[in-house]
């Protein structure tokens, strides 16, 4: 297995990763419907602040991680937020997720990020167990606020 960061030429791998996300999260509407065109994906893959990692086995994307480097304003530092992390069901419990997290931790160290943080949903016991073994747990509430048009 290899873990690598995607770049501008990796649109097909990004689409494969979206397929892994759709299956793992049982959410084909978000990850398979209304996908952006290749140009849009390529532009996002070119951004240093967007971190897209895949785990590949024999050329097949079996897992991946989407993270964002967030510059802070209270101090001259950034934090990396792991937004999505998933492994194909057939490849779980083989160290894939741990390898992906280790790679984003290496990227954090290389870029001078202060911390890597991730959320897990209540009831997602495998994710909670994984993250508990790797870091310090904080219990927080998450709220989705809708955008509002100006009057």
d(C-alpha 73, C-alpha 88), whole Å: 37
Residue 139: pLDDT above 80? no
Number of folded domains that form the chain: 1
d(C-alpha 3, C-alpha 94), whole Å: 13
For residues 15-26, one letter each, b for 16 or more C-beta atoms within 10 angstroms of the residue's C-beta and e for the rest, the string is: bbbbbbbbebee
Predicted model pTM: 0.86
Which CATH number belongs to the domain containing residue 90 in this structure? 3.40.630.30
β-sheet with 50-57: strand ranges across: 2-5, 50-57, 60-71, 78-87, 115-118
Domain that holds residue 39: 2-134
d(C-alpha 27, C-alpha 22), whole Å: 5
d(C-alpha 64, C-alpha 16), whole Å: 10
72-112 pLDDT tens trace: 999 888 999 999 999 999 999 999 999 999 999 999 999 99
What's the confidence (pLDDT) of residue 135?
Answer: 77
Is residue 151, in this structure, part of any structural domain at all? Answer: no
């Amino acid at each position: 297995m290899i873990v690598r960061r995607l770049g501008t030429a990796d649109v097909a791998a990004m689409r494969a990763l979206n397929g892994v996300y759709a299956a793992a999260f049982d959410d084909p509407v978000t990850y398979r419907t209304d996908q952006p065109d290749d140009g849009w994906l390529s532009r996002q893959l070119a951004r240093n602040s967007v971190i897209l990692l895949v785990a590949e086995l024999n050329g097949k994307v079996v897992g991946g991680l989407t993270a964002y480097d967030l510059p802070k304003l209270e101090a001259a530092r950034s934090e990396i937020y792991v937004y999505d992390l998933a492994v194909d069901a057939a490849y779980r419990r083989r160290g894939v997720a741990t390898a992906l997290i280790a790679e984003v931790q290496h990227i954090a160290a290389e870029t001078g990020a202060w911390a890597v943080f991730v959320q897990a949903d209540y009831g997602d016991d495998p994710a909670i167990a994984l993250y508990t073994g790797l870091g310090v747990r904080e219990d927080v509430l998450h709220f989705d606020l809708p955008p509002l048009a100006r009057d």
